[in-house]
Amino acid sequence: MENKQNLQSKDALGYALIFVGVFIIALSFWNGYNLFSGKLSPARIFDLPGITLNLDSGSINSLPDEFQMGIGNSSITLQGSQELTIPGKVINDPLNLIAHIIFLGLFASLGQKIALVGSDITRVVIVKKLD
């Protein structure tokens, strides 16, 4: 009788772990769906400042000879104070999206491992004794 009750509690624990693991996986996929449908914004992990490139310091003449041959006598010149500014949003948004997706993958993997432990607990092992 005690062995049967131990088996039932073991099965209950195994099925609970399977349920928790599948729930974590479903929650991860639901979060990813909301992320890509625009209902949810990615976690703000990166908050880098924008990049400003000063184009006054370089010219076509400062390029190596291999690159100057392709340009020839084109109309590319640097005039006045030219700066190229890349806003921080352009840098941060893709990085935050990629980091969010990686974290979702890690949570789905955690759910898979928990469900795997639950299925190992509920598995019936039959040992046949050879005479």
> What pLDDT is recorded for position 107?
96
> What pLDDT is recorded for position 64?
58
Could you tell me if residue 32 is inside a domain? yes
Could you tell me if residue 43 is inside a domain? yes
Task: For residues 91 and 24, give the distance between their C-alpha atoms in angstroms, rounded to a whole number.
Answer: 30
Residue 12 has, within 13 A of its CA and on its CB side, a CA count of 6
Could you tell me if residue 46 is inside a domain? yes
Per-residue pLDDT of the chain (131 residues; tens, 9 = 90+): 556 666 688 889 999 999 999 999 999 999 999 999 999 999 899 888 888 777 666 554 555 555 545 544 444 443 445 667 788 888 899 999 999 999 999 999 999 999 999 999 998 778 888 87
Could you tell me if residue 93 is inside a domain? yes
Could you tell me if residue 45 is inside a domain? yes
Q: For residue 123, count other CB atoms closer than 10 A to its CB.
A: 8
Could you tell me if residue 64 is inside a domain? no
Total number of domains in the chain: 1
Could you tell me if residue 76 is inside a domain? no
| 3-state SS track over 20-78 | HHHHHHHHHHHHHHHHHHCCCCCCCCCCCCCEEEECCCCCHHHCCHHHHHHHCCCCCCC
| 86, containing H or E segment | strand 83-86
The domain of 13 spans 2-50+87-122
Task: For residues 87 and 80, give the distance between their C-alpha atoms in angstroms, rounded to a whole number.
Answer: 22
> What pLDDT is recorded for position 76?
42
> What pLDDT is recorded for position 127?
84
> What pLDDT is recorded for position 20?
97
Could you tell me if residue 81 is inside a domain? no
